[in-house]
Amino acid sequence: MKRSKLRRIAGSGLVMAAVGALLTGGAIEASAAASGTVKTAGDPLNVRRAPTASATAVKTVANGATVTIDCQINGASVTGTYGTSTLWDYVPALGGYISDTYVFTNSDTRIAPDCGVGSGSGQCADACAGEAQYRGSDSHFLVYDTNSDGYSAVVAYWLKGGAGPFYVWNSGGEGTKVDKAVSVPHGTWLFYKVCVANYTTAKPDLKSCSDGITDYAA
Amino acid sequence: MGQVNRRKVLLGGLAAVTATAASAALPSWANARTTAAAPPIRDPFQLGIASGDPLPDSVVLWTRLAPSPLNPDGLGGMPDATYAVDWEIANDEAFSSIVQRGSANAVSASGHSVHIEPTGLQPAREYFYRFKSSGYVSPVGRTRTAPAAGAAVNQLKYCFSSCQHWEEGYYHAYKGIVADDPDLVLFLGDYIYEKKSGRTAQERNPRSLAFTEDVTTLAQYRARHAQHKTDADLQAAHAIAPWIVVFDDHEVMNNWNGTTAPATAARKAAGFQAFYENTPIRSTAKPNGASIQLYRQLMWGNLARFHMLDTRQYRSAQVPDPSGDAGPACADMRSTSRSILGATEEAWLLKQFESHPATWDFLGQQVFFATRDSDGNKATCESNDSWQGYEASRNRIQQGWVDRKVANPVVLTGDVHRHWAADLRLDYFNHSSPVIGSELVTTSVTSNSDNASPPDAAWNANNPHVKYCKGERGYVRVTTTPSQTRADFMTTSDTSVYDPASVVIKNDRSYVIQAGKPGLQQV
C-alpha cells in the first residue's frame, strides 16, 4: 500500500506541483522585442559565423535593415558607425553575428541576454582556422575547416549529468563543412568549444580551442 | 526493502520534476528585453541541491543557481543581479505537510549560492526540502536531523568518500552510496582538483575538463566546482542524505600549506570562497579572506561524536623530502615544536576528549594517521605529508585520548587513493605496544593509484598494525551501534566505463571494532 501510494505521488503529484509553481513564477515574460537597425556608410554589413571579423562571412545584410537580436556577446573589437566595441549581436534570421557598432539599438548598454540562449551560436578557434555553429532548433553541429593547416576542426561538447566531452569532427580539409545531429536532451544545456586537432578515435590532443559557450537544445 | 523502494521513488520523482521544469519554460528570448533588475533565466538548478552539518534542531540546506554551469567566467550563466530563492521543508516528499518555508537572496558575490540554516526542527527526523527560483522548482532532497543531545541511538549508518578527480573516472561510488541509503555522508577532501590529471595512463581517463588551466582565480575555482557538481551520481548522493564536508589540499592547490612554496593568500581566499559556495556547510565556516573555520564537532545522540579536522590550514611547514634514498629528516619530522593541526586546534581537540558524551569518537580528517614504515628502521623516515611527518603532534593527540580515557576512538581518512585499515599504537615500532584505536582509510572515488603496488610480505612484517590495503576505487560504509562499529570497504567496477547498467559495487572486506575493546576484527 505504501509503495503504490508513493509511486503515484512520484509519477504525477510532484510533476503537477512543479508545473503549478512554474505558472506562478512568471520567470520568462515576453516584453518588447530586442531589435535594431543596421547603419553603415552605405555598404552591406557582413554577417559572421562567430563574433569576430576573422570569422567567415556567411551573408550580408543591407544598410537600413531592421534586425531582431536574440542575444549579445563580447568578441573581437570592431570600430564602426557608432564607435569601437567588442559587442556582437546574434541575429538568428541571418544565421550569424553582426558587430553592434553598426547597429542602432537606441541604447549604449546591452539590450539582449548573453548568447547561448537556444536560438543558435557560433565559435571559432585558432584565428578561425576552425569554426562551428550549434543550431538549437534541431540540435545540429556545423563544423567548418577554413584553413589548410593540416589539422581537423573539431567540436568538443559536454552535457548535463557529467558526460563528455563528446566530439564532432571535420577532417575533410579546407573549405569543407560537416553537419551532424547530436543527441542533447530536450531543453537541456550543452557547453561546447571548437578546436583544431589531429583526427583520432581516441582522446584528441586539442591544439587550440575557443573559450567555449553554453547553448540549449530546443 | 521499504527504504530502498522509497529512495528509488524519490529519485524517479526528481527526474520528472526537472524535466518538466526545463521543457515547460522554454524562453522566447527574441521577445524578451532583459535590462530589468533580475533578467529571466533558464532552469538554474543545474548543480543540484544538498544538505549538511545536521544538528538536533537544524540542518543546512544548500543550492547554487547556475543555468549554464560550465561557463568559464564561473558565474554559471547568472546575470549580475539578485534572485530570490524560496525554500520549503516538508515531512513528506509530496510536500503536502510543510514544516517551514522562507526566502533568501542569491547574490552574485556569493556565486548565487544559498545556505539556509533553519532552526526549530525536530531531532532524529527525516525531512524533505526543495527550492524555487524564477519560476523553477529544484529537485527534491531528503535530509535528516541529528538525534537530541544525549538521546539513546540504536544505530547510525554513514558512508565516507574522498578524492574525485573529474577526468579520472565516473562517480560509480555514489551509485553505491545512494543504494546504501545512509543516514549521513562524510566527505574527507579533494572534492575538486585544481589541475589536470597527471596520471601516466591518460588513456584511462574517460572525461576531460571543460577548461584545462590550473585554477587560481575565484572565477576558475567556481567553474571547476561547477563542473564536478554536474555529475548526476554526485547530485543524487547529495539529495539522499546530509553531508559533512571537509577539504584537503586540492580544493586550493596540491600541498597548499606546508611546502616551501605555499599558496598565496589570494589563491587560498579564492579556493575557500568557492569551497564554501559549493558545499552545504554552516555559515560559521564562511571564509574571511584567506582564513576559514573548517574544524568542528557534530554529535549523533549518545552514540557518536564526529571531530571534523583541518590538517591543512594550520600545519607547520612540511619537512623537505629530498630525492634519493635519504628521506626526510627524522629529527625534523619528530620535532615537538611542529604540529599538523596548529596549537589552537590541537588544544580544542584535546579539550573535546575530556568529556565522553558518546560511545564512539570519530576523527574525520584528511591524511594518513598511522605510521607506515617500509624498512622497519626507526632511524629513517617517510611520508612527510601525513601525520607521520608531524609525529609529535600525533603523539599528543593519541596520548591525549588515552590520558582522557576516550574509550573508542576511530580515525577516518581520505587522501591516499587506496583503502587501508590499521590499528593505532603509541609506538608503531614496538609491535606489542597496545592497540589504542583504529584507522579506516577510504580509497578515492576516482583519483588513480596506477603506480601504487600492494604491500609485500616484508612491508607487512614491518607494519603488523596495518591490516588491509586495496588499490581500487570505492568508499567506506560504516554501521555503528552501541556495541560495535562495522566498516565495509566497498569497491566499484572500472570507473572509466560509463554504462550504468554495467556498474558493480562490491563489499571487498569488512572489519568490526567492539566497543570497549580496541582493534580491528576481520569479518
- SS3 of A75, please? strand
Q: What is the pLDDT of residue A8?
A: 33
Element containing residue B435 per DSSP (H, E): strand B435-441
Average pLDDT over residues A158-174: 94
Instruction: Return d(Cα B336, Cα B453) in angstroms, integer.
Output: 33
Residues contacting B443, CB < 8 A, separation 6+: B163, B416, B417, B418, B419, B449, B470, B471, B472, B473, B474, B475, B489, B491
Instruction: Return d(Cα B129, Cα B102) in angstroms, integer.
Output: 11
Provide, as residue numbers in chain B, all residues whose Cβ is less than 8 Å from the Cβ of A116.
Answer: 68, 71, 77
Instruction: Return d(Cα A213, Cα B80) in angstroms, integer.
Output: 18
Instruction: Return d(Cα B220, Cα B209) in angstroms, integer.
Output: 12
Average pLDDT over residues A107-131: 90
**Sheet holding B156-161: strands in order across?**
B113-116, B58-64, B49-55, B243-245, B184-187, B156-161, B474-480, B484-492, B505-514, B517-522
Provide, as residue numbers in chain A, all residues whose Cβ is less than 8 Å from the Cβ of B68.
Answer: 116, 189, 191, 214
More confident residue, B491 or B38: B491
Element containing residue A121 per DSSP (H, E): strand A121-125
Provide, as residue numbers in chain A, all residues whose Cβ is less than 8 Å from the Cβ of B227.
Answer: 158
Res. B238: pLDDT tops 60: yes
Neighbours of A41 (CB within 10 A): 8
Rg of the Cα trace of chain B? 23
Residues linked to residue B136 through DSSP beta bridges, in sequence order: B133
Of B276, B238, B249, B277, give the one whose Cα is nearest residue B189: B249
Q: What is the pLDDT of residue A17?
A: 36
Residues linked to residue A113 through DSSP beta bridges, in sequence order: none
DSSP string, A136-190: TTTTEEEEEE---SSPEEEEEEEETBS---EEEEE-S-TTEEEEEE----TT-EE
The predicted complex's ipTM stands at: 0.89
Instruction: Return d(Cα B203, Cα B280) in angstroms, integer.
Output: 34
Q: What is the pLDDT of residue A25?
A: 36
CA distance A145 to chain B (A): 22
- SS3 of A39, please? coil
Question: What is the share, in percent, of chain B residues with pLDDT greater than 70?
Answer: 93
Provide, as residue numbers in chain A, all residues whose Cβ is less than 8 Å from the Cβ of B27.
Answer: 27-28, 117-118
Angle, CA A166 vertex, CA A161 and CA A172 arms, to 5° = 160
Angle, CA B224 vertex, CA B223 and CA B225 arms, to 5° = 90
pLDDT digits (tens, 9 = 90+) for B342-391: 999 999 999 999 999 999 999 999 999 999 999 999 999 999 999 999 99
Domains of chain A, with CATH numbers? 12-104 (2.30.30.40), 121-216 (2.60.40)
The model's confidence at residue B1, banded by pLDDT at 50, 70 and 90, is: very low
Is residue A203 less than 8 Å (CB to CB) from chain B? yes
Residues linked to residue B83 through DSSP beta bridges, in sequence order: B106
Provide, as residue numbers in chain B, all residues whose Cβ is less than 8 Å from the Cβ of A158.
Answer: 70, 210, 227, 230
Longest dimension (CA), chain A: 76
Instruction: Return d(Cα A29, Cα A41) in angstroms, integer.
Output: 37
Q: What is the pLDDT of residue B37?
A: 74
DSSP string, B256-294: TTTSSSPPPHHHHHHHHHHHHHTS---GGG--BTTB---
CA distance A153 to chain B (A): 17
Instruction: Return d(Cα A160, Cα B229) in angstroms, integer.
Output: 10
Pick B21's closest partner by Cβ from A6, A22, A113: A22
pLDDT digits (tens, 9 = 90+) for B157-180: 999 999 999 999 999 999 999 999
Element containing residue A89 per DSSP (H, E): strand A83-91
pLDDT digits (tens, 9 = 90+) for B270-299: 999 999 999 999 999 999 999 999 999 999
Provide, as residue numbers in chain B, all residues whose Cβ is less than 8 Å from the Cβ of A120.
Answer: none
The model's confidence at residue A29, banded by pLDDT at 50, 70 and 90, is: very low
CA distance A5 to chain B (A): 10
Average pLDDT over residues B127-146: 98
**Sheet holding B296-300: strands in order across?**
B296-300, B304-308, B360-364, B409-413, B435-441, B419-425, B466-470
Of A120, A188, A97, A130, give the one whose Cα is nearest residue B70: A188
- Give the mean pLDDT of chain A: 86
Lowest mean pLDDT among A5-19, A184-198, B379-393, B447-461: A5-19
Neighbours of B99 (CB within 10 A): 18
Neighbours of A108 (CB within 10 A): 10
Is residue A186 less than 8 Å (CB to CB) from chain B? yes
Of B156, B159, B161, give the one whose Cα is nearest residue B180: B159
Is residue A187 less than 8 Å (CB to CB) from chain B? yes
Q: What is the pLDDT of residue B324?
A: 73
Average pLDDT over residues A173-192: 96
* Contact (CB, 8 A) for B171 and B233: yes
Instruction: Return d(Cα A15, Cα B375) in angstroms, integer.
Output: 62
Q: What is the pLDDT of residue B14?
A: 41
The span from the first CA to the last CA of chain A, in angstroms, equals 40
Residue among A22, A71, A166 with most chain B CBs within 10 A, to mutate: A22
pLDDT digits (tens, 9 = 90+) for B28-51: 333 333 334 788 899 999 999 999
pLDDT digits (tens, 9 = 90+) for B167-220: 999 999 999 999 999 999 999 999 999 999 999 999 999 999 999 999 999 999
Q: What is the pLDDT of residue B33?
A: 35
For A107, A199, B278, the CA distances from B79, given in Å and listed in that order, are: 18, 37, 18
Instruction: Return d(Cα B485, Cα B437) in angstroms, integer.
Output: 12
The model's confidence at residue A107, banded by pLDDT at 50, 70 and 90, is: confident
Residues contacting B292, CB < 8 A, separation 6+: B272, B275, B276, B285, B286, B313
Cell 541509503 identifies what position?
B181
- Total CB pairs under 8 A between chain A and B: 193
DSSP structure class, residue B312? S
Rg of the Cα trace of chain A? 20
Region for B423 from its dihedrals, namely left if φ exceeds 0, alpha if ψ lies in -120 to 50, beta otherwise: beta
The pTM of the full predicted model, rounded to 2 decimals, is 0.90
Contact yes or no for A27 and B136 at CB 8 A: yes
Residue among B33, B224, B229 with most chain A CBs within 10 A, to mutate: B33
CA distance B132 to chain A (A): 8
For B173, B175, B479, the CA distances from B491, given in Å and listed in that order, are: 8, 11, 17
Instruction: Return d(Cα B362, Cα B296) in angstroms, integer.
Output: 12
Instruction: Report which residue type is found at B122.
Output: Q
What are A82's three cell numbers?
557608432
Strands (E) located in B152-272: 156-161, 184-187, 243-245
The model's confidence at residue A32, banded by pLDDT at 50, 70 and 90, is: very low
